[in-house]
């Protein structure tokens, strides 16, 4: 059975689930497909997708950094923090938009409140479901890690930013907080994801271009890590603190901190038997 990863270029206007549905239709009936992290419907860019038994590896993938190109518009506010929501006028813009100074706090790990319209769970429910029902609630601040926020272009009302960040960071929250620090409000007008872990925009393919032979190998996210050889099968539950993939003529196993977290018989050296 075919298995591996696809680096999809998601167009704006589609949900991540829409992309999964489209990909699933290209493979034999019953093939499992899942994405590696939600990209908001208005956003475009890199959306990695797992196919076949590679879906079982999603929760075990190495934590991947993200990179985005973001356009922020000042003087507006939105209930979704972007252009897809109900937009209202914010405060007056400062005479001088000194964005360089106001971007300085976005370095390293900070505490940031995520958008209410998000896939986060609170009290067992998706936050976006509660928001769409009109419920009043607050999400707690959570750590967000920024490697670098670079100002690429600025006009009187907008700014284009390149953001390198850790997983779980919301660029809509960055736009909101930047606008509030200026006293005028701001929304995320457009977002393009340039990178998600080991998946980068230049190698992304459009949905219309997908073919089964374009699948990246199921072991691709670990391709730059060393592997080891198992001398027994089934694989032992623990292997001397090993972190990564281990192979045996009968199959392969994935270890995290020496503990087996996944194993599959019938694959050798990254190929399905």
Catalytic annotation, residues: 40
Per the listing, tokens 């660029």 go with 171
Residue 221: HSE in the Cβ half-sphere, 13 Å Cα cutoff: 25
CB proximity list for 154: less than 8 A, separation 6 or greater = 97, 99, 160
Chain-centre distance of CA 156, in angstroms?
A: 31
Number of Cβ within 10 Å of residue 180's Cβ equals 14
Per the listing, tokens 């390293």 go with 108
Q: Where are the beta strands (DSSP E) in the chain?
A: 4-10, 33-35, 44-51, 66-74, 76-78, 87-89, 108-112, 121-122, 125-126, 142-154, 158-165, 186-196, 199-200, 228-229, 244-248, 251-256, 259-265, 267-268, 271-272
Q: Is 91 exposed, middle or buried (0-12, 13-18, 19+ CB in 10 A)?
A: middle
Query: What distance in Å separates the CA atoms of residue 204 and residue 23, rounded to the nearest whole number?
Result: 14
Query: What distance in Å separates the CA atoms of residue 11 and residue 190, rounded to the nearest whole number?
Result: 12
Q: How much of the chain is in helix, strand and coil states, percent to nearest 5?
A: 20, 40, 40
- Which two structure tokens, joined as six digits, stand for 227? 């592997």
How many residues appear in the chain? 273
């Amino acid at each position: 059975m075919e298995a591996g990863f696809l680096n999809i270029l998601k167009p704006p206007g589609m949900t991540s689930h829409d992309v999964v549905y489209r990909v699933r239709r290209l493979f034999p009936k019953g093939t499992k497909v899942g994405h590696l992290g939600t990209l908001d419907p208005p956003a475009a860019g890199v959306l990695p997708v797992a196919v076949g038994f590679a879906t079982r590896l999603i929760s075990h993938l190495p934590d991947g950094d993200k990179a985005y190109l973001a356009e922020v518009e000042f003087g507006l506010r939105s209930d979704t923090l972007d252009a897809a929501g109900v937009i209202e006028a914010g405060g007056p813009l400062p005479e001088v938009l000194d964005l360089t100074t106001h971007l300085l706090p976005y370095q390293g790990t900070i505490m940031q409140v995520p958008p209410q319209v998000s896939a986060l769970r609170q009290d067992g429910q998706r936050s976006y479901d509660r928001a769409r029902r009109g419920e009043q609630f607050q999400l707690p601040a959570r750590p967000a890690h920024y490697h670098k926020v670079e100002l690429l272009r600025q006009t009187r009302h907008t700014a284009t930013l390149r953001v390198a960040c850790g997983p779980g960071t919301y660029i809509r929250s960055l736009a909101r907080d930047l606008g509030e620090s200026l006293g005028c409000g701001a929304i995320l007008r457009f977002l393009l994801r340039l990178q998600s872990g080991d998946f980068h925009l230049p190698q992304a393919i459009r949905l219309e271009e997908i073919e089964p032979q374009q699948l990246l190998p199921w072991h691709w996210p670990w391709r730059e890590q060393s592997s080891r050889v198992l001398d027994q099968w089934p694989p032992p539950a623990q292997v001397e603190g090993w972190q990564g993939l281990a192979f045996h003529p009968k199959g392969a196993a994935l270890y995290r901190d020496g503990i087996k977290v996944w194993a599959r018989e019938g694959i050798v050296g990254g190929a399905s038997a």
